[in-house]
Amino acid sequence: MIYLDNAATSGRKPEEVYLACDHALRECSGNPGRSGHAASLAAGQIVEEARRMCAAFFHAEKASEISFTNNTTTALNTAILGVVRPGQHIITSSLEHNSVSRPLEYLRSLGSDVTILPASVDTGIDPEDVRRAIRPDTALVVLTHISNVTGTVNDIRAAGMICREKGIPFLVDAAQSAGARPIDVREDYIDLLAFPGHKGLLGPQGTGGLYIREGITVNPLTRGGTGSFSELPEQPERLPDRFESGTLNVPGLAGLAAGIRFLRAAGCEEIEARESSLRERLYAGLSEIPGVKIYAPGPGRPAGCVLSFTIRGIDPSEISAILDSSFDIAVRAGLHCAPYAHRMLGTIGSGGTVRVSPNHFSTPEEIDSFLDAVRQIAEAARR
Amino acid sequence: MIYLDNAATSGRKPEEVYLACDHALRECSGNPGRSGHAASLAAGQIVEEARRMCAAFFHAEKASEISFTNNTTTALNTAILGVVRPGQHIITSSLEHNSVSRPLEYLRSLGSDVTILPASVDTGIDPEDVRRAIRPDTALVVLTHISNVTGTVNDIRAAGMICREKGIPFLVDAAQSAGARPIDVREDYIDLLAFPGHKGLLGPQGTGGLYIREGITVNPLTRGGTGSFSELPEQPERLPDRFESGTLNVPGLAGLAAGIRFLRAAGCEEIEARESSLRERLYAGLSEIPGVKIYAPGPGRPAGCVLSFTIRGIDPSEISAILDSSFDIAVRAGLHCAPYAHRMLGTIGSGGTVRVSPNHFSTPEEIDSFLDAVRQIAEAARR
């Protein structure tokens, strides 16, 4: 199979990730932070190692600023619902995923006002629009770093600088960027960063996390046993305990740490360069096929390694079904859980788009095979 | 190592669980329910197979009544915060874990009234107390099935029958009982059942779930991408999608399904009988050691395969440290995230208890080695 659906989950993980999960499951199957015996301590070491690696990867000041969640969605919900009080104002963009827009719609149903900044496919939002939208009751600015539909990049550093200047908490959805593009929570003025473990960081599904800058007040979404301060009737204040109730996914976190270790050894810049080159090849090839329309930043623009396209005369879901059944190529069709973005693209009523997302494990030959398949499908559609 | 901390997490999993996790991670690494290609469908099949197995295991009517979570704590928070409106009345017991009591304390801080029914170590709560405590504004009754400190069993069927009769939603915390003792959500009149994947069901950490009886209204805790109804701005109503936003822990769920398959093949009654016999051996042995005080239901009483003890003259944490360092035996000391229970036992101010929790993989010889170690520690403490 030619797997070009890495925006959903990285299909192939490094061998070290598989081995780390298996080792943790077999050899370190204690409950971390719960007991003092060797198995519990070994599990605890896995968790703290993964935490230190995530903190270092995103340039957090302290490991305790990283709380682990089961996925990006939980991290985003924790941040959004933990920071905004119903009725307060929120600023976001038209590029957001349902994991941002649905919690915001919920807050809207409780009386909050949500400003959705328009974005261009080429350059994302205008950071100055953030400044203009800030009101005295603005409680949060939340932006996706890279659109999961078009690969459009929001200038988070410019937006972050404005938020910091105005004293508004700034939350970044790094679902598509973590591991694929440099993120420095300090230089990018990020207060809250939600990230997946199973996409660019190459860990297993069931992992993710939330960076919470020290000093940012967030109410926890869940409360329960933390293995610490057990006598307290209330949820402890200490981070990361406050946001990590219940048993963590220890084998998953072992795999996540192995994934980050792989990225560091391979070199994040090399990975980014490789993905850029694959993405350019993809864009250039698609733009030469008659009947194909691309939804992605144009040549020379910053872009994530994901783009969308349609073919005149044939349904996106049919294209992906043919790619799967006749060419053994995995892509995704539809709205990709991002109705805001499809409304912006004008594709919401017509079955969305076909999304293609290689990663650094993909080869130029795979891109060429994909392009050849699309050429055949487009040709058949023209007849 | 002699692992007697299965109440925290089952230390040893069947070989099939390890293999299922590894296979899912290597071969089925698509995002379930997100795309139509083979890798996504394979991942989706794993999830639906695990769902059907959990539903059948607890005798749910439909697989869609099972929603997966990352652990029991999230399932309990989803149920509690999704059913109770701040200000409404809740009934619970003095045996609860922090994963129940902390969300309840939070609701109390928002104006809810919480009735904590007294429990006896021997027989748990008196179900008739549930009836007496019900008020017109009672929104939920939540009971642990088996105490994680003493192994005390609450008569959930009797309590459930009263709740059903009165029309009050009934939530059971099956953290210690799922996989260890029969649970039939229909015969036990359970509306909501929170269960872990990584304890009695022998799956990996990072798994768990919530049974929601069809017709029970629960507001979701998180909102986001469900891979379904992507165009809807609000969270979809359909179960289980409503409670499963974001990417699920597919390799973990593959392991959970394998764990349940193992239990069914081994025979749940055989497992229960084996655990009962180990627990009796443990209880009888401990009760013969001078200076040892046991906190658990007495002989002949129904009990889970977990009990607590203290030794006169020596701190619980010191006992567990000696067991670990000198005897390579893993137990847990402290409050076990259950301050209510320790208040009831009178052990909250004295470092809690030592908790011992074998499971069916434990051997009589391991219990005897443990008893011998405790004998030596108690003897040294008497000198």
Q: Say if B42 is an interface residue toward chain A (CB within 8 Å).
A: no
Per domain, the residue ranges of chain B are 2-9+267-382, 15-265
Is residue B95 very low, low, confident or very high in pLDDT (cuts 50, 70, 90)?
A: very high
Give the pLDDT of residue B349: 84
Alpha carbon distances (Å) from A119 to A94, A342, A382: 6, 12, 32
Instruction: Enter the CATH code of domain B2-9+267-382.
Output: 3.90.1150.10
Give the least confident one: A96-110, A342-356, B145-159, B195-209.
Answer: A342-356
Residues 6 or more apart in contact with residue B22 via CB below 8 angstroms: A18, A21, A22, B251
**Which pairs from A184-191 meet CB under 8 Å and 24+ separation?**
A184/A58, A184/A59, A185/A58, A185/A59, A185/A60, A185/A211, A185/A213, A186/A59, A186/A60, A186/A61, A187/A59, A187/A157, A188/A156, A188/A157, A188/A160, A189/A157, A189/A160, A189/A161, A189/A163, A189/A164, A190/A156, A190/A160, A191/A163, A191/A216
Rounded CA-CA distance A67/A52 in Å is 11
Cβ contact A209:A67 at 8 Å? yes
Q: What's the confidence (pLDDT) of residue B340? A: 86
- pTM for this model (two decimals): 0.98
- In B, minimum Cα distance to A41 occurs at B330
Closest CA to B23 of B185, B251, B202: B251
pLDDT computed for residue B350 by the predictor: 87
pLDDT tens for residues B294-341? 999 999 999 999 999 999 999 999 999 999 999 999 999 998 888 888
| CATH numeric code, A15-265 | 3.40.640.10
Quote the ipTM score: 0.97
Please indicate whether residue A54 is annotated as part of the active site. Answer: no
- Which chain A positions have a beta carbon within 8 Å of B77's beta carbon? 221-224, 245
Q: How confident is the model at residue A336 (pLDDT cuts 50, 70, 90)?
A: confident
Question: Above 90 in pLDDT, residue A35?
Answer: no
Q: Is the pLDDT of residue A349 over 90?
A: no
> Rounded mean pLDDT of B134-141?
98
Q: Which of A27, A337, A345, A348 has the most B C-beta neighbours within 10 Å, making it the best mutation to test the interface with B?
A: A337
The gap between the terminal CA atoms of chain B, to the nearest Å, is 28
Residue A191: the pLDDT is 98
- Does residue A230 carry a pLDDT above 90? no
What pairing do the DSSP bridges indicate for beta strands B192-196 and B208-212? antiparallel
Residue of B nearest to A148 (CA): B225
Apex CA B193: angle with CA B99 and CA B7, to 5°? 55
Position A81 scores a pLDDT of: 98
Which residue type occupies A75?
A
Number of Cβ within 10 Å of residue B270's Cβ equals 11
A331 touches chain B (CB under 8 A): yes
Mean pLDDT confidence for B184-209: 98
Among left, alpha and beta (phi > 0; psi -120 to 50; other), residue A124 is left
Give the per-residue pLDDT at A350. 87
B229 contacts B236 by C-beta, under 8 angstroms: yes
Measured at the alpha carbon of residue A268, what is the angle toward residues A20 and A72, in degrees to the nearest 5? 60
- The pLDDT assigned to A162 comes to 98
Mean pLDDT of chain A: 96
B67 pLDDT above the threshold of 90:
yes
User: In the structure, what pLDDT confidence band is assigned to residue B35 with cuts at 50, 70 and 90?
Assistant: confident
The shortest C-alpha distance from A174 to chain B (Å) reads 14
B272 pLDDT tier (thresholds 50, 70, 90): very high
| For residues A281-307, average pLDDT | 97
State whether B103 and A204 contact (CB < 8 Å).
Answer: no
Q: What is the DSSP letter of A85?
A: P
Dump pLDDT digits (tens) for A60-80. Answer: 999 999 999 999 999 999 999
Window from A191-205, B163-177, B337-351 with minimum mean pLDDT: B337-351
Q: Is A340 helix (H, G, I), strand (E, B) or coil?
A: helix
Q: Supply the mean pLDDT for chain B.
A: 96
Over residues A183-211, the pLDDT tens digits come to: 999 999 999 999 999 999 999 999 999 99
Chain B closest-CA separation from residue A235 CA (Å):
6
SS3 readout for chain B? CEECECCCCCCCCCHHHHHHHHHHHHHCCCCCCCCCCHHHHHHHHHHHHHHHHHHHHCCCCCHHHEEEECCHHHHHHHHHHHHCCCCCEEEEECCCCHHHHHHHHHHHHCCCEEEEECEECCCEECHHHHHHHCCCCEEEEEEECECCCCCEECCHHHHHHHHHHHCCCEEEECCCCECCECCCCCCCCCCEEEEECCCCCCCCCCCEEEEECCCCCCCCCCCCCCCCCCCCCCCCCCCCHHHCCCCCCHHHHHHHHHHHHHHHHHCHHHHHHHHHHHHHHHHHHHHCCCCEEEECCCCCCCECCCEEEEECCECHHHHHHHHHHHHCEECEEECCCCHHHHHHHCCHHHCCEEEEECCCCCCHHHHHHHHHHHHHHHHHHHC
pLDDT band at B344 (very low <50, low <70, confident <90, very high): confident
pLDDT reading at A228 higher than 90? no
* Interface subset of A 252-281, CB within 8 angstroms of B: 252, 255
pLDDT exceeds cutoff 90 at A44: yes
Is the pLDDT confidence value at B256 over 90?
Answer: yes
**A33 pLDDT higher than 90:** no
Angle among Cα B121, B145, B193 to the nearest 5 degrees reads 160
- B111-141 burial string, b = 16+ CB within 10 Å, else e? ebeebbbebebeebbbbebbbebbeeebbbb
Q: Which residue in the set A8, A18, A102 is minimally distant from B26, CB to CB?
A: A18
A39 vs B contacts (CB less than 8 Å): 1, 3, 5, 11, 330
Q: Say whether A70 sits in a helix, a strand or coil.
A: coil
Is residue B22 over pLDDT 90?
A: yes
| Annotated catalytic residue, options A28, A268, A305, A337 | A337
Among B31-40, B197-206, B216-225, the minimum mean pLDDT is found in B31-40
Residue whose entry in the numeric block shows the structure tokens 């090839």: A285
B251 touches A: beta carbon within 8 Å: yes
Least confident of A68-77, A80-89, A229-238: A229-238
Q: How much of chain A, in percent, has pLDDT values that exceed 70?
A: 100
Chain A within 8 Å of B17 (Cβ-Cβ)? Answer: yes
Q: What is the pLDDT of residues A93-146, one digit of tens each?
A: 999 999 999 999 999 999 999 999 999 999 999 999 999 999 999 999 999 999
Cβ contacts of residue A56 below 8 Å, gap of 6+?
A: none
Average pLDDT on A85-100 reads: 97
> Tell me: the pLDDT tens digits for B236-252?
999 999 999 999 999 99
Q: What is the mean pLDDT of residues A259-266?
A: 97
Across the range B144-165, mean pLDDT stands at 98
Assess whether pLDDT exceeds 90 at residue A383. no
- Chain A contact set for B206 (CB, 8 A): 70, 206-207, 247-252
Q: Which of B35, B76, B205 sits opposite A248 (nearest CB)?
A: B205
- pLDDT reported for residue B341: 87
Of residues B76, B227, B251, nearest to A204 (C-beta): B251
* Statement: residue A277 has pLDDT above 90: yes
| pLDDT bracket for residue B168 (50, 70, 90) | very high
pLDDT at B229 over 90: no
